[in-house]
């Protein structure tokens, strides 16, 4: 999967360091009230899908200093995800 940079301002939950990066879905975490709406006094409904996405550290940081098997996992809401290869 590709992490989008949807240009959404404010208290969002997808940090910049994974935007435009490609990873794989590790697990579906369930449906959660959208915290990016709840941060602004809204209800965050309907609940939205949340996934654990796993990245190879080498794919996030070009100069990563570690073992080739090192990974990073992060929670990404559905609206930040696109199939690998697409970036918008």
Partner 1 sequence: MNGDEHNHDHDHDDHAPTREDDDLELTEGEARFLALKSLLIEQGVMTADEIRARMEFNERGSPHQAARMIARAWVDPAYKERMLSDTKAAAAELGIEATEAALVTIENTPKRHNMVVCTLCSCYPRSLLGEPPAFYVSKAYRSRAVREPRKVLREFGVDIPDAVDIAVHDSNADLRYVIMPMRPAGTEGLSEDDLAALITRDSVVGCALPVEPA
- 9-68: which residues touch partner 1 (CB under 8 A)? 13-15, 17, 29-30, 32, 35, 50, 52, 57, 60-61, 65-67
Q: Does 72 engage in binding with partner 1 (CB under 8 A)?
A: yes
Q: How far is the CB of 72 from partner 1 (least distance, A)?
A: 5
SS3 47: coil
Distance CA 5, CA 3 (A): 7
Q: How far is the CB of 10 from partner 1 (least distance, A)?
A: 12
- Exposed/middle/buried for residue 80 (C-beta within 10 Å: 0-12, 13-18, 19+): buried
Q: Does 5 engage in binding with partner 1 (CB under 8 A)?
A: no
């Amino acid at each position: 999967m590709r992490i989008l940079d949807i240009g959404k301002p404010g208290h969002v939950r997808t940090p910049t360091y994974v935007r435009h990066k490609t990873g794989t879905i590790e697990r579906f975490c369930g449906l959660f009230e959208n915290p990016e709406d709840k941060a602004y006094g809204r209800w965050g409904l309907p609940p939205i899908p949340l996934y654990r996405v796993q990245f190879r550290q080498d794919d996030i940081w070009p100069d990563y200093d570690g073992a080739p098997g090192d990974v990073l996992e992060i929670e990404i809401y559905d609206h930040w995800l696109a199939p690998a290869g697409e970036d918008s």
